[in-house]
Structure 1
Amino acid sequence: MILSFLFLILSIVAVLRLGWGLVYGSNQDALEASRVFLPLAAAAVGLPLIIWRLVILNRQTRTAEEKTQIDRETHYTSIFSKSVEHLGATREHKETSESRGKSEPISRTVPNIEMRLGGLHSLARLAEESTRDSLKIQKMLSSYVRENSWYLRNGTRYASQPDGKYPFFSKWMFLNAQSTDEEKADKYLNEWRDRVDSKYDSFTEWAGTLPETRVDVAEAVSNLIALVTSQQIMTELYESLFVEQAFLSRRFKKFRFRRCVFVKCTFQLSDSDFNRLEDCVLVDCTFYINDNRIYFRSCDFYGGSINDASGGKIYFNAVNLVKLTSYATQSNTTLELLHSTLKDFRFFGDNITLTAKNSSLIDCNFDKAGFTAESTIERSNFIATSFKEADLSALTNIAAATLDEMIASPATLHPGGTRPSSWPPYDPDYVDDDIPF
């Protein structure tokens, strides 16, 4: 607009100059005025045409871009549709069946792993190119993991996990509160121990029959992790089975696992993340927590190990576990137990901050552990739980009855005040040969 206005001003000036030269000027002035006016007159005629042409070109460009976008979206839709078709690809597998001494060929439909992997790779590539489809692809991959993680390469389902939940311990607490039912409480405690050990044996035996998670399911998880990490969005995996898989914190820090089953999996945390597992079953899993935080809610543990939790924080909320062991000495670790039941839990280390509220620890082991003054133990039971050669001197918030329940050695340091009567006399030079380290 400004250029057009300037051009109009110049044209008016040129016309006036030409008129003045023709009327009042000499022939030379008229000639000079004509030389100035004629190019401007030509420009005055051509400029609107040029502007109109530019407008037309702009419209054509926009139309071409819109068509390109439509073609691109059509292409993306085609890729997505074909990829989804590949995710359900199957093939016929022929084998021979022996029946009554005769060999009979049979045909069975099994997943076509190769085509499914191709579909997964196509979806991963599409997610990189089309941000608009990222959320849709994320949901598709999550559904694929959930629907396929329980099936083997031959299309049959994994052996079902043992029935039933971790045996409840609350009945013992009720019986123990009744002084007249002490014998009945002891009987129930032993029966409960047998049921828990039997449940542990059932789960470990079942876990030993499971092959590793299918390669296409593992690839779907890997693609899902890459997508979630690049888009910085939170996602949830639920009702899935993972066997012998490695979960690194930098890869699954944006995940929430719910109602999943983990068998012989490894969790290695990093980047000071807060990782959450809810209502899950974990069988013989290994944890490297380091300086990070991990939160378990309503989970059942059957075996497993914590290899490094120094500086880390472990939260057990409504957790049941049996035979979870720390194979390395920890330091500066926070362990929080809330409404949880632990059997055969072994944890060793210095400067442990233990918070136990409304929890029960049965046959556990904290030998040679040292606890900080921030530790809090409220309304919790320590039944046949060992604190041999442990340092409890810094504890201030613990009931005398709770101390009486603990198994101590002469070298165990007690909190300030009177040494519990159930503990042996203090002997700092005492060495317990039963402690294996």
Structure 2
Amino acid sequence: MNFENNLAFAQALDQQDILREMRNEYLFPQQNGKPFIYLCGNSLGLQPKVAREVLEVQLNNWQNLAVEGWFEGNSPWMFYHKELKKLMAPIVGAKPAEVCPMNTLTVNLHLLMVSFYQPKAKRFKIIMEAGAFPSDQYAIESQVRFHGFDPKDAIIEVKPKEGEYTLRTEDIVKAIDDNAEEIALVLFGGINYFTGQWFDMPAITKAGHKAGAIVGFDLAHAAGNVPLQLHNWGVDFACWCSYKYQNAGPGGISGIFVHEKHFNTPLNRFAGWWGYNEAQRFKMEKGFIPEAGADGWQVSCTQVMPMALYHASLQLFKKAGFMDALRTKSKTLTAYLFYVINQLNTKLGEEQFKIITPQTEDDRGAQVSIIAKANGKKIFDELVVNNVLGDWREPNVIRLSPVPMYNSFEDVYRTGELLLTISQSIA
């Protein structure tokens, strides 16, 4: 598409957008009586308008049914998670039995590593991306120490080449191949939180399995952002949060994926009552018998309120046509932001804003990370003052995330115009 950097062109794209009405399903934060241009969905998604309604339903159930709410009402809490599984599966390309809503992201990462990180005397190492989100780093370090290894010996971090910001797939595969005899686990993010790079998950999975390792992914920035095919790719396990691109509220419930090939394999796990075989759960007997599928990794009982918010948000994904329609818009929306930033640099006569997100659309999601040549934090603060809310990441990156569910092409155009005005005013 041949883009134009003007308001009329952006508005014309919005008129052609088959998802434009989805924007009306969300509430935008306000400042001085005006809504923000919200470009921070990669950190916390907007609140669906239906959120209060679904919480009110569950509060009424609690009020009117009390403990009987576990088995009575339109959606008994005991089985509520099953309604979500059918809607979660298309988001990550899985079978309903392979996914389950439960806990929070890092808790689930630990629980899954209990099962899938089984180090031996020689095969004990974990390969991960350098610069992964801190929670992943801490979880992996602590798991390694729990098994009696030194993180310096057991963790292999794959770094970008000198002068580059993103990883090359061939370097990831080479690191796996070079350490094939010692790797127990390959654990990557689906999308890097800092640069927005979408890793080649099928290639990583294939290389990890060739090396004889288990392969898992933290999909915090990928689930609800890019189309995934976890089952078909043969990924062993994955987990994600629901509060970023999936708009399920701050601290929203997490989800897990376990490939069905592991369902009948004896695996270590930290067991809990809610993961016990459903048909026999209330016999209260000793000796853990897991429920079939991913549900067997549950520990504690259903978190009804967070699950209700997630359910409501997933219904909006269904209304939007799940990931195919959203991805089509996302590619164009993000490409337009690339174009606008490049046009901005041309007008300023220099590369005031360096884009560190991959140029190739298949290597990125709905995020563009930029480094300002000077005054980066001041520019970011001025954006916020002027009702554009992105995300600042130390030491020098502004992350702008045009989410196809609720952002418009006009949002992108006006952000570019504001960046130009701010840059000229503080030059």
TM-score of the superposed pair, with normalisation by structure 1:
0.22
Greater strand fraction, Structure 1 or Structure 2: 1
Higher relative contact order (CA 8 A, sep 6+): 2
In terms of Rg, which structure is larger?
A: 1
